Amino acid sequence: MIPAAFDYEAPGSVEEVLQLLAGAGDREVKLLAGGQSLLPVLRMRLAAPDLVVDLGRVPGLRGVRDDGDAIVIGAMTTHDDVTREPLIRQHALLLSHAAQTVADPQVRHRGTFGGSLAHADPAGDLLAPALALGAEFVIAGPSGRRTVLAADFFTDLFATAIGAGELLVEVRVPKYTGWGAHYEKFNVVAQAWSIVGVAAAVRTDGGTIAQARVALTNMGLVPIRAIGVEQALIGRPASAETIRAAAVRASEGTAPMGDANADEDYRRHLATVLVGRAVLAAVGG
């Protein structure tokens, strides 16, 4: 289908984006990043904004930089950049792994890290890794910039802490240098969203699991930290037996939805199996 008509602006700075958002009044505005989620939504006429503001010409929103104890990923950094960027591979390997599982090369070259997180699809593959790693979201608005923790950023189905008149500019990720990491995704056709996904990052010390961060994709309206699994891993030997016992706690605190792909019980079963696989791979088993 052809989208409903809209006005189009391509501003040249974050300040200009904010001015356009502030000046929109009652008109509905949509920000355009890679367009890989927004354009299908417009074409299906699930949204009909009056104005589309393209972030593609705003300098400084794409790229990754080292910021001491964290790396900072610009919102317009593409999925492909995330898979290849040496700083991410060195300090946040989990994100690199997860981005590799997103769609196909075409989508990964256009789709952006910030667009994925702002879209907040519960089946999106970058939300749980960002939550597991305790990422911080830097949001620009009329009164300056504010930082929101990942645990507070995803507020509901396709909803985030980004308010009207604001945009996501970058994401700070603490460094997990030397940690093992793996993103395990289950889907029935290649190059599709997760039916369930598991993001796992683990630090081992002399054969013992010293630290563990695990989060789940599509086990609720928002990504969920698997705290019970983490507790069952930390301080124990990095063995298949430990991991099997911890994985049993995968669905604690989850509220999976049923849909044409899987009902709630099947998703809980998948979470257990995939947590086992993800953690085993993360510890190098």
Ligand X SMILES: Cc1cc2nc3c(=O)[nH]c(=O)nc-3n(C[C@H](O)[C@H](O)[C@H](O)COP(=O)(O)OP(=O)(O)OC[C@H]3O[C@@H](n4cnc5c(N)ncnc54)[C@H](O)[C@@H]3O)c2cc1C
By CB under 6 A, name the binding residues for ligand X.
Answer: 30-38, 55, 75, 102-103, 107, 111-112, 114-116, 118-119, 121, 124-126, 162, 167-168, 192-193
Q: How far is the CB of 178 from ligand X (least distance, A)?
A: 27
Q: How far is the CB of 166 from ligand X (least distance, A)?
A: 7
189: left (phi over 0), alpha (psi -120 to 50) or beta: beta
Q: Which is nearer to ligand X, 70 or 168 (CB)?
A: 168
Q: Which is nearer to ligand X, 75 or 275 (CB)?
A: 75
Q: Which is nearer to ligand X, 133 or 246 (CB)?
A: 133
Q: Which is nearer to ligand X, 13 or 177 (CB)?
A: 13
Tell me whether residue 10 is exposed, middle or buried, using C-beta atoms within 10 angstroms of its C-beta: 0 to 12, 13 to 18, 19 or more. middle
Check the CA dihedral 194-37-14-143 and report its sign. Answer: negative
Q: Which is nearer to ligand X, 116 or 204 (CB)?
A: 116
Q: How far is the CB of 108 from ligand X (least distance, A)?
A: 8
Q: Is-contact 210 176, C-beta < 8 A?
A: no
Q: How far is the CB of 134 from ligand X (least distance, A)?
A: 20
Q: How far is the CB of 135 from ligand X (least distance, A)?
A: 14
Radius of gyration in angstroms for the set of CA atoms belonging to the chain, rounded to a whole number: 19
d(CA 263, CA 270): 11
Q: How far is the CB of 143 from ligand X (least distance, A)?
A: 17
Q: Which residues contact 68 (CB under 8 A, 6 or more apart)?
A: none
Pair type for strands 29-32 and 51-54:
parallel
Tokens 């054969």, residue? 207
d(CA 99, CA 255): 25
Q: Is-contact 80 109, C-beta < 8 A?
A: yes
Q: How far is the CB of 101 from ligand X (least distance, A)?
A: 6
String of b and e for 91-119 (b: at least 16 CB within 10 Å)?
bbbbbbbbbbbbbeeebbebbbbbbbbbb
DSSP lists the bridge partners of residue 29 as 51
Q: How far is the CB of 270 from ligand X (least distance, A)?
A: 16
Q: Which is nearer to ligand X, 61 or 229 (CB)?
A: 61
Q: Which is nearer to ligand X, 78 or 272 (CB)?
A: 78
Q: Which is nearer to ligand X, 57 or 235 (CB)?
A: 57
Instruction: Kindly report the backbone phi and psi dihedral angles of residue 196, in degrees, each rounded to the nearest multiple of 5, phi listed first.
Output: -145, 145
